[in-house]
Amino acid sequence: MVMIDQYILGGFVASLVAFVLLYNLPRKTRKTNKVSKVGRGDECIKTSAVGGGSGTEAGGDADIIIVGAGVAGAALAYTLGKDGRRVHVIERDLTEPDRIVGELLQPGGYLKLMELGLEDCVGDIDAQRVFGYALYKDGKATKLSYPLEKFDADVSGRSFHNGRFIQRMREKAATLANVRLEQGTVTSLLEEKGTVKGVQYKTKNGEEITAYAPLTIVCDGCFSNLRRSLCTPQVDIPSCFVGLILENCELPYVNHGHVVLADPSPILFYKISSTEIRCLVDVPGQKVPSVASGEMANYLKTAVAPQIPPQLYDAFIAAIEKGAIRMMPNRSMPANPHPTPGALLMGDAFNMRHPLTGGGMTVALSDIVVLRDLLRPLHDLHDAPTLCKYLESFYTLRKPVASTINTLAGALYKVFCASPDPARKEMREACFDYLSLGGIFSEGPVSLLSGLNPRPLSLFLHFFAVAVYGVGRLLIPFPSPQRVWLGARLLSGASGIIFPIIKAEGVRQMFFPATVPAYYRAPPAVH
């Protein structure tokens, strides 16, 4: 009887979601002023750097300075260098990074990687293919596959060691003669009458150097010390990830990420090499048990271990005993830039979301595609005020992809966390059961999660379809006053989750970008 009710509800909810499919039909897009790929040699874009440099080699040989060579910085350096720009990349540490996040690239991000010509960077690093997720709750499991039928066989998610991926992109960027990677610490942006002219930095040897360029792009990551002059940062830290590496075991569902809806918050598992499984335990709040005192190990053994799939239990305990417990604060920050002549923010320095959904690299790579297409028609970057006005369209054109992924990450994290509130409990249960129905009920949300369908309206409809589904379950078979009240609280709670996130992203830019004047900015005229 319960199963029949679920499918009756599913049919009812499907009517709400049906026009999502209509919304996803191919539509005409605006002209983006794309030009053919810029060649090297005689066809190379020619610009000259801002004069008045420090007199050093770094003082006048770049069209664009990129601060940071992480995922965003390295990919951007290669992309702009391939288009003929002279690029100077300054990175604090060029040795291989060792992080516990940025290890899962969604299929939508892989498509962007292909578009940028960087797909070979996931080769030769023992990257693992990912075809979807397995979702666990209270001993039940459901498999959610990416809708990849319409794509080339090579398209899927990829999981890997973050540092290996970054090093491959740095190496590829460095193969271009017009891209210069340098190890150094940027201490400040150089401003003159409100226009950024370049950067001041310290070399590896401690020498202070001034570098000039018509455009400086800041990609110095989540710990950016330069963002305050280019945006209004409102950084929220809802939780921390505790990272472990599990060995000598296999995931129950091969080539799938695993999400356990645990108490108090989710636990993630995915392979990052042929022999290693990354485990990320989300711990809400900023005050977490101490690793040094052994509190964290005890918490993982007593509170977390009993909730994970039995196949992973022994390896999980062994990883704790090994003692290699890492922690990383989870940050979210809406994009709130100050358009500044001569400068632009990219990557985590500019916009962050909870890493639960693994969408950060997809957003960064999508942003690079947008920026590349905007810059391609420009042969001269020197008119900073005019360029700044033109590049305001970047902030609007990126919104549909970025805001969909950002909103989904924030909303899903809140839904997936346990709560003593009965309405929140019902929402969490409804979400699991809705996804378990299969068909459009799983394919729609998973296509959003994977970055394959970055449409804000689809996200909005599916989110409230889950809420309506939850209310319907409460009202069938007999809608008692208590259940009606709980259903009303469920809808109210769902609204309280998603509307603040949408407001922070910008309702107009997210749902109606074509109404924003910057959407139609034409490239500056060539003088």
CATH code where residue 341 lies: 3.50.50.60
Whether 271 and 359 map to the same domain: the answer is no
Confidence of residue 255 (pLDDT cuts 50, 70, 90): very high
Cα(283)–Cα(34) distance, rounded to whole angstroms?
45
Lowest mean pLDDT among 32-36, 218-222, 339-343, 461-465: 32-36
Say if residues 485 and 344 touch (Cβ distance below 8 Å): no
- For 252-276, what is the mean pLDDT? 97
For residue 401, being part of any structural domain is answered with: no
Whether 203 and 216 map to the same domain: the answer is yes
* Residue 273 neighbours by CB distance under 10 Å: 18
Predicted local confidence at residue 476, as pLDDT: 87
Whether 94 and 204 map to the same domain: the answer is yes
Of 154, 163, 165, 95, whose CA–CA distance to 130 is shortest? 154
- For 269-287, what is the mean pLDDT? 96
Confidence of residue 524 (pLDDT cuts 50, 70, 90): confident
For residue 289, being part of any structural domain is answered with: yes
Predicted local confidence at residue 60, as pLDDT: 61
Of 350, 334, 361, whose CA–CA distance to 501 is shortest? 334
Lowest mean pLDDT among 13-27, 45-59, 171-185, 430-444: 45-59
Name the H helices within 398-455: 399-416, 422-436, 440-449
- For 358-387, what is the mean pLDDT? 95
Whether 285 and 342 map to the same domain: the answer is no
Confidence of residue 63 (pLDDT cuts 50, 70, 90): very high
- For 432-450, what is the mean pLDDT? 95
Rg (CA), the chain: 24
Whether 187 and 73 map to the same domain: the answer is yes
- For 433-446, what is the mean pLDDT? 94
Predicted local confidence at residue 513, as pLDDT: 86
Structure token digits, residue 126: 């023992």
Predicted local confidence at residue 47, as pLDDT: 32
pTM: 0.88
CA angle, 282 then 110 then 516, to 5°? 85
For helices 440-449 and 399-416, what crossing angle results, to 10°?
Answer: 120
Q: Is the pLDDT of residue 57 over 60?
A: no
- For 120-146, what is the mean pLDDT? 96
For residue 241, being part of any structural domain is answered with: yes
Confidence of residue 526 (pLDDT cuts 50, 70, 90): low
Predicted local confidence at residue 296, as pLDDT: 97
Q: Render 132-177 in DSSP notation, one character per residue.
A: EEEEEETTEEEEEE---TTS-TT-SEEE--HHHHHHHHHHHHHTST
Q: Is the pLDDT of residue 193 over 80?
A: yes
* Residue 245 neighbours by CB distance under 10 Å: 18
| Residue 240: strand pairing partners | 283, 329
Predicted local confidence at residue 525, as pLDDT: 67
Cα(103)–Cα(105) distance, rounded to whole angstroms?
7
Backbone angles phi, psi at 399, to 5 degrees: -60, -50
Whether 447 and 355 map to the same domain: the answer is no
Q: Which helix (H) or strand (E) holds 242?
A: strand 236-247
- For 134-143, what is the mean pLDDT? 95
Predicted local confidence at residue 381, as pLDDT: 93
Q: Is the pLDDT of residue 333 over 80?
A: yes
Q: What is the pLDDT of residues 4-43, one digit of tens each?
A: 444 444 444 444 444 444 444 433 333 333 333 333 333 3
Type of residue at 39:
G
Q: Is the pLDDT of residue 46 over 90?
A: no
Whether 479 and 423 map to the same domain: the answer is yes
Instruction: Please name the residue that has the structure tokens 């150089």.
Output: 190
Predicted local confidence at residue 479, as pLDDT: 87
How far apart, in Å, are the Cα atoms of 357 and each of 125, 234, 362, 406, 441? 22, 21, 11, 9, 18
For residue 146, being part of any structural domain is answered with: no
Predicted local confidence at residue 518, as pLDDT: 77
Which SS3 state, helix, strand or coil, does residue 278 take?
strand
Q: Render 332-386 in DSSP notation, one character per residue.
A: EB---B---TTEEE-GGGT-B--GGG--HHHHHHHHHHHHHHHHTT-S----HHH
Lowest mean pLDDT among 34-48, 73-87, 349-363, 414-428: 34-48
| CATH code (residue 281) | 3.30.70
Strands 104-105 and 157-159: antiparallel
For residue 9, being part of any structural domain is answered with: no
Chain centroid, CA 291 distance in Å: 28
Proportion of the chain above pLDDT 70, given as a percent: 88
Domain count, the chain: 3
Domain that holds residue 464: 406-513
User: Mean pLDDT across the chain, nearest whole number?
Assistant: 88
Whether 366 and 417 map to the same domain: the answer is no
Strands 215-218 and 64-67: parallel
Whether 119 and 256 map to the same domain: the answer is no
Whether 166 and 310 map to the same domain: the answer is no
Whether 193 and 244 map to the same domain: the answer is no
For residue 271, being part of any structural domain is answered with: yes
Whether 220 and 324 map to the same domain: the answer is no
For residue 252, being part of any structural domain is answered with: yes
For residue 22, being part of any structural domain is answered with: no
